[in-house]
Amino acid sequence: MSRSFQIPNLMCYPRPMSDLPSEALQEVPPVPSRPAPLSPWVTAVCGAVAGAYLGFSVLTVSPSPLDRLDQPEESLERLVTREMDLRAALRQAPEWKKTLYATLSGGEDTLADVIAWYDELIGTGASPIAQLYRVVLVAEDGQTGRLNAALVPWEFQGEAAFRMGKWVRAGYLGSDLDREGARSLLMEIRSELPPGWFADTLAARVAAKLGDPTVQREAEAAIGARGAALLDRWIGLTVAQGVLLVLGIVALGGILRRRTAGAVGEAPLPPVWTAQDGYGLFVRGTLGFLLIGLVSTFLLPKESPYSGISTLAAGLPLVWWLHRYLSVRGLSLPETFGLTLPAGGLRRVAAATFVVIGLSVLGEVAITLVSGTLNYKPHWADGLLESILWGPPWLVACEVLDSVVWAPLIEELAFRGVLYATLRMTVGVWPAVGLSGAFFALVHGYGAVGFASVLWSGILWAVAYERTRSLLPAILGHMFNNLLVTTEFIWLLRL
């Protein structure tokens, strides 16, 4: 029976229905298959490993910021000497400089604050020099009873401590010294202490007791000159930020007058990937970043040039995953993230970037004013960049390159380009702005003020991406922000 049905069917088509030869029909290309999505199982494993790593880091990190520093004594000494030099210069500065500094700096730290910093440091087992610095600060604050109590043990702690005790007694407690003895103490102070506020202050106090106004004026003039230079640098940086704020306001006004949407690119939002693939890309890039950082920490000494290069290499896994994912779908990074500008787009990018920078400066000023009003002061070691403060020039160059160029590019691809765009698909625009900004701030590991600052930046850059359909304003704004922070740190603390 089966044969009787098949034979007529075959005989119905004695030749091809088309006029084309049968060979041409066989050459029709097959329909290309859709690229497979990222494996959710691999995403889950990568997420679990990255989460375990981050959780372990949080649980094992010391609650004291001092334990995160390699050179806490030297770093605190640099911070305090610059602070005290600046404070001395402010006492002689014009009123407008005093007002400007008091308004925008969040209020200066009191001597009690600085003494508390040294109390914490000495509690970890500091050197005799650090203990001397603390005693000098106590003496400058007029705490005579505490000063006497601190000097008593020094008589039994060796020759160096006994000698430093003589310096303090001569400068603050009126020890009887002849002229030769006082000059000998001045020579010891100059030869054994590094140049700076502590050495000059001790020398000025001893010279005042000795009745040598020339030495006293020289020491006080050195403090004033250093402080005046620092104050001028700070004002220069403040003026530069003020100019950026004005440019941002002008650019924003121009955009509002034209009533344009502000788009400068054509990045697709929602993105070209699914939510599952978006989270997969972010998790894979994050795990690669963490693993490269972990390997470099254990295998490379900090003095090695490769340690600086490894910081730059840590962002490559994300770029590789994005390139791989997009290329098999016929897409590229520039078109996916709006990095290719249409005609006339350069002016719109510049305007949007100045708006982002201006709002960033405005937010920083607001955070400073609010924290000052609440009398909340971050820990002095919070966010301290020791590698830039003490590192050799090659390491500083790597850190600056990473902070100003590479980190903004990688972080914007990760947190705005991938994470924000993916969250936008699942929770909506404004929740995605807040969540991506909060996670961005959280992973930086700063205190409350630092968290607020990074959160504001993350929110601002996500909104910029949403409004402009391009990552360029966010990347450039991020670069300018990090450039300002790095320049301020180097100019006020390293140089």
The answer for residues whose C-beta is within 8 angstroms of residue 183's C-beta and 6 or more apart is 210
**Phi then psi dihedrals of residue 39, to 5 deg:** -65, 125
**Phi then psi dihedrals of residue 61, to 5 deg:** -70, 145
Is 235 within the bounds of a domain?
A: no
Judge if 210 and 264 occupy the same domain: no
Judge if 472 and 422 occupy the same domain: yes
Q: What would the mean pLDDT of 181-193 be, rounded to a whole number?
A: 93
Is 39 within the bounds of a domain?
A: no
Judge if 280 and 206 occupy the same domain: no
Judge if 208 and 294 occupy the same domain: no
- The total domain count for the chain is 2
pLDDT tens for each residue of 224-242: 999 999 999 999 999 999 9
Is 63 within the bounds of a domain?
A: no
Q: Is the pTM above the cut of 0.85?
A: yes
Q: What would the mean pLDDT of 246-255 be, rounded to a whole number?
A: 93
Judge if 303 and 430 occupy the same domain: yes
| Exposure on the CB side of residue 63, measured as CA atoms within 13 A | 1
Is 97 within the bounds of a domain?
A: yes
| Confidence at 31, pLDDT banded by 50, 70, 90 | low
The answer for residues whose C-beta is within 8 angstroms of residue 33's C-beta and 6 or more apart is none
Judge if 165 and 274 occupy the same domain: no
pLDDT tens for each residue of 132-179: 999 999 999 999 999 999 999 998 889 999 999 999 999 999 777 788
Please determine, for residue 271, whether its predicted confidence score (pLDDT) is greater than 80: yes
Encoded tokens for 234: 């700070």
Q: What is d(CA 51, CA 49) in angstroms, rounded to the nearest whole number?
A: 5
Judge if 186 and 310 occupy the same domain: no
Determine how many CB atoms are found less than 10 A away from the CB of residue 453. Answer: 23
Is 291 within the bounds of a domain?
A: yes
Please determine, for residue 4, whether its predicted confidence score (pLDDT) is greater than 50: no
Is 172 within the bounds of a domain?
A: yes
Judge if 280 and 222 occupy the same domain: no
* Domain termination site, one of 227, 247, 282: 227
Judge if 400 and 484 occupy the same domain: yes
The answer for residues whose C-beta is within 8 angstroms of residue 94's C-beta and 6 or more apart is none
Mean pLDDT of the chain: 90
Judge if 295 and 344 occupy the same domain: yes
The predicted structure's pLDDT at residue 11: 38
pLDDT tens for each residue of 457-489: 999 999 999 999 999 999 999 999 999 999 999
Q: What is d(CA 422, CA 119) in angstroms, rounded to the nearest whole number?
A: 47
Q: b/e per residue, 389-422, with b = 16+ CB within 10 A?
A: bebeeebbebbbebbbebbbebbbbbbbbbbbbb
Could you tell me the residue range of the domain that residue 121 belongs to? 71-227
Is 141 within the bounds of a domain?
A: yes
Please determine, for residue 421, whether its predicted confidence score (pLDDT) is greater than 70: yes
Is 223 within the bounds of a domain?
A: yes
Judge if 323 and 174 occupy the same domain: no
Q: What is d(CA 90, CA 105) in angstroms, rounded to the nearest whole number?
A: 13
Best CA proximity match to 456, nearest among 440, 476, 445? 440
Judge if 369 and 439 occupy the same domain: yes
